[in-house]
Structure 1
Amino acid sequence: MHTDRFEAPFALARRRDGDLVRTALVAGDRIRDLTAAELGAPELNAFLSDPDWDRLAALAAADGDWMPLSGAVLTAPVAPRQVLQAGANYRQHVIELVAAGLTQNSDRTPDEARAFAAKLMDERAAHGEPYFFIGLPACVVGDDVPLVLPAYSDVHDWELELAVVIGREAFRVAPEQAMDHVAGYTICNDITTRDLVFRADMKEIGTDWYRAKNAPGFLPTGPFLVPAPFVDGPDVNVQLALNGQTMQDASTSDLLFGIPALISGASQTMPLLPGDLLLTGSPAGNGQHWRRFLQDGDVMTGSIAGLGTQTVRCIAGAPPRTAAG
């Protein structure tokens, strides 16, 4: 059930109704299902390809079969065909990571290491390119289901992120046109199993994002899709609390590569499709920083200004079955 607010006049959501998932309109503390005729499209991704926000604004202001939002069970507000994720994209976070390594492996003082790292990041922003990897759409879930922590590791980590929801298809677009392809924004928590990020059996091949980030439910998303006209994506606060204690707290204004650069860069390889998710990176303050990882019974509360709040409850996964079992 959801009582958390967003600041926009209305937003989209997807509501569970028994075994069905229905596209819904949320306005204030009310929610109502949307028929294809009301949406003006056969399904949500088709609507996002050419969103008519004026149509939904009129519905949000009209009488209808509204229900209390507090009684609704919401799932992920989108059903993406592709999920792209940006890595190492918060400037200050990366500076601190690089500086920490330099102070351990060189004669630089902490201030000298941070200054050197800042220069590296500024050069990367000016002349480099965003770093992307891909996630599995099947991992996208709502916070209506608990996060099951696989028993094969004790180092499952959180990474709260602003997620761009693609609208009109984007293929090899310039940064100047990139924002024309944004339908809206939502919240994603990019769960990562830290001890699987690098292959122990063959370090030469580098990172293994498939195993580290793609267990069932590892992309809690939503609960709302807020239209782009209502969100200042380049400057919103991203905050995650673990059991009530703030662990991440930053602004997207610190992104090394901003949203237009990310959309443009990702679209150079493969078309971004309506409803796809593009995660923009996660700020400092994950479990690896705090040396504290997710445990059975933990509750993560992820908030992004203007997008509401998601609450994810963690439960321990079943131990792996033995050959005899």
Structure 2
Amino acid sequence: MAPSHQHYGLGTFSDGETEFAGLVAAEQVLRLQPDQLADGAATVRGLLEQWDDVRPQLPDLAARAAQYGIPLSRLDVLPPVQPIHIFQAGANYRSHVAEIIISGRADDDPRTADQLRSDAEAMMDERARKGSPFFFAGGLGDVRDR
């Protein structure tokens, strides 16, 4: 058995055909298989979600990566984790934020759309003066659709 490695990392990679989670040691990447370290598909997010079970297995796998892995230089390195939510700041998008506020109007809010817009724009102007941006959470589709 090869000695275990203490220096290694997890990442997401592409070989030009598929994307996969991998363990990197000594500039070599060991492709991780579904259910190899944790239940389900092998993704960095999945491994992190089951970290207490995954962590003890990594040093021995790192030794295998160092000996039998794919050279890191032959792979594209991708973002390790795909975000679930993205926090967006609308401080620079005054009219866009006003539209968000109007579209989210509560059913019992007596203000008209024009009043909501005016109130939203005043709020954005105040936030811009004080350096307090307007944050909202969105999914990946929200970012791609803009």
TM-score relative to the length of structure 1? 0.26
Q: Does 1:50 align with 2:50?
A: yes
Q: Is the Cα–Cα contact under 8 Å of residues 30 and 64 in structure 2 kept in the other structure?
A: no
SS in structure 2 at match of 1:15: strand
Contact residue 11 and residue 27 of structure 1 kept, 8 A = yes
SS of aligned partner of 1:203: helix
Distance 1:19 1:65 in 2: 20
Q: What do the CA deviations read for 1:151-179 (whole angstroms, capped 9, x no partner)?
A: xxxxxxxxxxxxxxxxxxxxxxxxxxxxx
Shift of 1:12: 0.7
Structure 2 residues without counterparts, runs of 5 or longer: 1-5, 99-119, 125-132, 137-141
Q: For 1:199, which of 94, 115, 125 is the aligned residue?
A: 94
Question: Would you say the 8 A contact 1:198–1:208 is kept in 2?
Answer: no
CA deviation string 1:218-277 (max 9, x = no partner): xxxxxxxxxxxxxxxxxxxxxxxxxxxxxxxxxxxxxxxxxxxxxxxxxxxxxxxxxxxx
CA displacement at 1:215 relative to structure 2: 5.1
Q: Give the count of matched residue pairs.
A: 98
Q: Secondary structure, in 3 states, of the residue corresponding to 1:22?
A: strand
Residue 62 of structure 1 aligns to a residue in which SS?
Answer: helix
Q: Give 3-state SS (helix, strand or coil) of 2:81's partner.
A: coil
Give structure 1 regions of 4+ aligned residues with deviation exceeding 3 angstroms.
207-210
State the TM-score, normalized to the length of structure 2.
0.52
Aligned mates of 1:73, 1:60 — CA distance in 2: 19
Deviations 1:111-164 (A, max 9, x none): xxxxxxxxxxxxxxxxxxxxxxx24xxxxxxxxxxxxxxxxxxxxxxxxxxxxx
Q: Secondary structure at the match of 2:94?
A: coil
Counterparts of 1:141-220 in structure 2, within 5 Å, are: 197-199=92-94, 202-206=120-124, 207=133, 209=135
In structure 2, distance between residues paired with 1:48 and 1:41: 12
Residues 215, 20 of structure 1: alpha-carbon distance in 2 compared, 3 angstrom cutoff: same
Q: Deviations over 1:67-103 (max 9, x none)?
A: 21122101110123234xxxxxxxxxxxxxxxxxxxx
Q: What is the alpha-carbon distance in structure 2 between the residues aligned to residue 82 and residue 9 of structure 1? A: 30
Specify the code of the residue in structure 2 equivalent to 1:70.
Answer: S
Give the C-alpha shift of residue 198 in structure 1: 4.7
**What's the % identity of the aligned pairs?**
20
Maintained 8 Å contact 1:24/1:34: yes
* Aligned mate of 1:76, from 76, 79, 96: 79
Deviation, 1:204, is 2.2
Alpha carbons of structure 1 residues 37 and 65: separation in structure 2 relative to 1, 3 Å: farther
Shift of 1:40: 2.7
CA distance in structure 1 between the aligned counterparts of 2:35 and 2:48, rounded to whole angstroms: 15
CA distance in 1: counterparts of 2:27 and 2:15, whole angstroms: 18
- Alpha carbon RMSD of aligned pairs, Å? 3.0
Of Structure 1 and Structure 2, which has the larger fraction of its residues in strand? 1
State which of 61, 64, 69 in structure 2 corresponds to 1:62: 64
Largest Rg, 1 or 2? 2
Whether the 8 Å CA contact 1:199–1:208 is kept in 2: the answer is: no
1:209 Cα deviation after fit: 4.9
1:41 to 39, 42, 53: 39
